[in-house]
Amino acid sequence: MTKLVYSFGGGTADGSREDRSILGGKGANLAEMARIGIPVPPGFTITTEVCRYYLREHHNPEGLEEAVADALNRIEGRTGRSFGNVEDPLLVSVRSGGAVSMPGMMDTILNLGLNDRTVAGLESATGNARFAWDSYRRFVQMYGDVVLGVDAQSFEDRLAAATKLRNVPHESGLSADDLKAITSDFKAIVRDHTGDPFPDDPWLQLWGAIEAVFRSWNVERAIAYRRVHGIPNYLGTAVNVQAMVFGNLGETSGTGVTFTRDPSTGERRLFGEFLVNAQGEDVVAGIRTPLSIDRMAEKLPEAYERLVAVQDTLEQHFRDMLDLEFTVERGHLFLLQSRTGKRTTAAAVRIAVEMVDEKLIDETEAVLRVDPRQLDQLLHPRIDPNAATDELARGLPASPGAATGRVCFDPDDAVRLSRDGQEVILVRNETSPDDFLGMVAARAVVTARGGITSHAAVVARGMGKCCVVGAQDLHIEGKQGRLHANGRTLQTGDWITVDGTAGRILIGQVPTVEPEPGDDFLRIMTWADERRTLGVRANADTPADARKAREFGAEGIGLCRTEHMFFEGDRVQAVREMILAETGAARAAALEKILPMQRQDFIDIFRAMDGLPVTIRLLDPPLHEFLPSAEADIATFARHAGLSIDDVMTLLERYREANPMLGTRGVRLAILYPEIMEMQARAIFEAAVEAERQGLRPRPEVMIPLVATAKELAIQGDAIRKIATSIFQAADLAVPYLVGTMIELPRAALTAAEIAQEAEFFSFGTNDLTQTTFGISRDDAGTFLPRYLEDGILADDPFQVLDREGVGQLVQIGTWEGRQRRRDLKVGICGEHGGDPSSVEFFHETGLDYVSCSPFRVPVARLAAAHAALHAAVGPGRTSKARARRAEADASERLRLVRRTAAVTPADAAGPQPEV
C-alpha cells in the first residue's frame, strides 16, 4: 500500500473515477465530482486496501493515523472549522463505499464529533438549539447502534414514546428540550448495554466509526447481498470521511435523493424525493414519507434550478443514469454522492437505447449496459386488466410486475416458509438492511412507510422484485400477525396480490397476463445478436412451447423431450400399456396408438420451427414417472387395460427399481425394447416427410440419451438410419437429418472420441451430468445443499450455475475429444445451465456451437452470449477464438494426465507415481 488516504474538495482531488478498485465507487465519484467543479463537501477516502489489511490483520496499517490526521487538517483548512472545537466544531460523516454499489448494506455515521461541549458550540454557531440537539440525538443513536452494538430497537422505543407523549407524528415535531432529554436517555441506554459511558473524545469517535465501517463489510446482510448479486467477497470497502453539511437547519434547508432518469421506466426526467428540514437518513430509511422532487421547485426554487443543472452536467460526464444524494444547507446545494443508479431492466433497456440515440454511448456499450441476469424482469407478469380486483390499499409503485403470495410480517418467517415451498409477500412498516434475506425469499415486498428511494424500493428494484412502498393506509401489527386497512383486517397467511406497476395491494389471488416487450427491447436484442457468436436454441416439448421459443428469438430447438408429450389423458394410458405389455404383440398395439400422436406433434413443431433445427431426444424417462402409483390411478389403469388390480400390482412390482434415475431409461430402454425406438423414429421421419410436402423445411436431429459406450450408440444409430432410408424411399423424398447423442455421463465425456465416430452431434445434458459427476440427486439435494451454500462449501448451486472445475472440465474434454475425431462435430448443451449467464460465458469460451434453455430464458441467453463475446474480445490474446483454443489446450492436457494416470499398472503402482 503506497497511499492510504486520498483527499478531495475545493476543486481538487487526489483520485478520480478510474480509481474505483481502491477508492470504492462512492470515493471515486466524490473525487471525480470535486475535480470537475461540482459542489462537494471536502473530505477524504481511506482505501479498500486498508480495509482488507484490517480484516486480515485485525489492526490498522502503520502510518494510517498520521495520514488521517493530515487529511482532516485539510478539511479544517477548507471549512474554517476545527475538529473538536467547542465554539464552532467541525463535524464529519463516516460512510462505507465498495467498488460495487451495495445500497443500504453497510453502515453510516453522521454528525460525528459531537459531545456535551461541542453541541453547545454548534448551537451557538448556528443560533438553532433544536438543530444542535437533533444532530446530537441522531449521532448518539447511530453510533450506539453501528459502532457499539446497542440494540437499535431500544432507541426507537424511547423515540416513539416521546412522539406519542407530545402527540406528534415523528421526531421533527419535538422541541429542543425534548431532544436534549432524549439524547441523555440514549446515552444512558448505551451505558446500560455496554457498561461504559458514551465516548466523548472526537478522535476516539472517529476511529471507532472507521473500524466499524471496515467490520460492516462482513456483516450477514452484506455477505448475503454479495451472494445474491455475485459480488466477490475479497473486494473490501473504502471509508469516506466528509465534512457535514446540514439539511436540518430550518425551512431553507433540506435533503433528498434523486435519479437523473426514472429508475422504473427509464423516462428522461428528474425523479426522486426530498424533505425540508431533514437529514439524509430520513429519506433513505423511510422514517418520514418524503415529497416528490418536483415540489422542491416550490419549496427551494434556487437550489432546485442548481440541482437540475448539476444533474445534467453529471449525466453528460458519466454517460449513465445516476443516483444522486444531495443536501441543501440554508439555500446552498451540496452533492454528497453520485453513483450509477439501480434500475429495473425495463428502465435499463430504455435508457441504453435512448443514450445511443443521444450519442452518449454506442450500440456495443448499450448491449453491455443491460444485465442478462435481470433480463427476465421484462417478462414479468402483470395484472390481467379483465380480472375483478378487490383493492385493499395503494402505495407508491417502487418496482414493476405482479406477484401473489401469503402475507408474512417477519423476514425470518419469510425465509423459513419459502424453503418449505410456500409463496409469501413480506409486509413491513419499513425495511432495514437486516430484512434482506426475507426480501430475497419473498415474491414481493410491501411497506407502509417510505418512498421510492427507500431501502425497500432500491433493493427490490435491484433484485427485480415486485414492490409497493409508502402504503400509508396499512396499519401493521406485526407481532400480533395482522394488519388493518380501510376497515379490513388481514392475518398472517392470507392471500394478497401486489401490483408493483400501479402501486396496488389487492386481496386474494388475482390472475395475471404475460408482458409484451417493446421496440427498445427489440433493438437491444438485435444489437446483441449482431455481436454474439454462440447460437441459442430452446428446450421445447410441445408446439405451443416451440412457437413461444421462436417469438423469443430461438434459433431452433436444442431439446424436445418426447416423454413430456405423454404425461396426460389418453396418452399416458397408452404409454402405460406399452411399458406394462407382457407380449410383443400387446406392446406393438400400444405403440400403434402412440405413433399418430407423436407424428402430429412433430409436424406441428416442424411448422413452428420451419427451417430451423429440432433436436428430438428419444424416450428417456425413469419408468416410475409413467407408471401409476396412487390407488385411484392404479384402479383407473386396470379398468382401461381390462386387468385386475392384483395383476397391475404384480406388473408394477416387476418394474420397480431401487435407483430408477440410473436404471432402465434412455438408450438402455431402447436396446431392451427396440420397438419403442422404431416407433419414435417412424414418427419423426414420417412427420418430416409430411412437413416437407406441406412446403416446410424440417431439420430433425435425433438424439439418443444416456449413452455410456460407443457400441450403444452404433446399434441405435444404425437402426435409426435404416428406418429413415426406408421411409424416404417409400415417399420418394429425402429430408436432411442428423443422429447424435446426449453427453450426460462422465464416461461418455471421457470417451468422446470413440462416441464421436458414431455421432454427428453432441448435446451436453448438464442437469444429469451434474448429478452423475457430484453423485447428488437433484430431487433430494434440498436437504443439504442450502447448508453447503451457507457454509461456503459450494460457491453456487451446481444445478443453477455450472461447476466449471468438475462438470466444466468434462464438457471441455468431451468437446475437444469429439472434435479431434470428427472435425465438423456440432456441440451444444441443453441443461438448465443454458440460461445462466455465467455458464453461457463458459460455454462460449469452450467453443460450443449453441446453448439451449427454456423458452422464457432465450433472451437471457442471447444477451449473455453477446456479453461473453464482447468480454472475450477485450485485450490482447483474448478473442473468442483464442479463448476457445486455450480451452481446448487445457482439456487436452487434462485428458493426457487422466490417461497417464489410468495407464499405471498394478506393478507400476509399487514404484514411483506419475506427477498429476
Catalytic residues: 455, 830
Residue 326 DSSP symbol: E
**How many other CB atoms are found less than 10 A from the CB of residue 378?**
24
Q: Which amino acid is at 562?
A: T
Beta strands of 431-580 (E only): which ranges? 444-447, 466-469, 475-477, 482-485, 488-491, 495-499, 504-507, 512-513, 535-539, 557-561
How big is the chain, counted in residues? 916
Query: Do residues 375 and 859 lie in contact, with contact meaning Cβ atoms separated by under 8 Å?
Result: yes
* 272 closest CA partner among 296, 301, 293: 293
Query: Do residues 680 and 562 lie in contact, with contact meaning Cβ atoms separated by under 8 Å?
Result: yes
CA dihedral (859, 864, 870, 873) in degrees, to 10, reads -140
**Dihedral sign, Cα of residue 529, residue 533, residue 539, residue 540:** positive
Grid cell in block for residue 346:
425495463
Strand partners, 273: 257, 292
* 620 closest CA partner among 564, 568, 658: 564
Name the 3-class secondary structure at 743: strand
Grid cell in block for residue 257:
435523493
* 282 closest CA partner among 253, 242, 311: 253
Quote helix, strand, coil % in the chain, to nearest 5: 50, 15, 30
Phi-psi map region of 9: left, alpha, beta (phi>0 left; psi -120 to 50 alpha): left
Q: Which amino acid is at 743?
A: I
| Bridge pairing between strands 5-9 and 12-13 | antiparallel
CA dihedral (239, 245, 246, 247) in degrees, to 10, reads -90
Rounded to whole angstroms, the Cα distance separating 545 from 551 reads 10
Query: Do residues 845 and 870 lie in contact, with contact meaning Cβ atoms separated by under 8 Å?
Result: no
Phi, psi dihedrals of residue 291, rounded to the nearest 5°: -95, 155
Query: Do residues 352 and 524 lie in contact, with contact meaning Cβ atoms separated by under 8 Å?
Result: yes
Q: Which amino acid is at 607?
A: R
| Bridge pairing between strands 92-98 and 108-112 | antiparallel
Q: Which amino acid is at 598?
A: Q
Q: What is the 3-state secondary structure (H, E, C) of 226-273?
A: HHHHCCCCCCCEEEEEEECCCCCCCCCCEEEEEECCCCCCCCCCCEEE
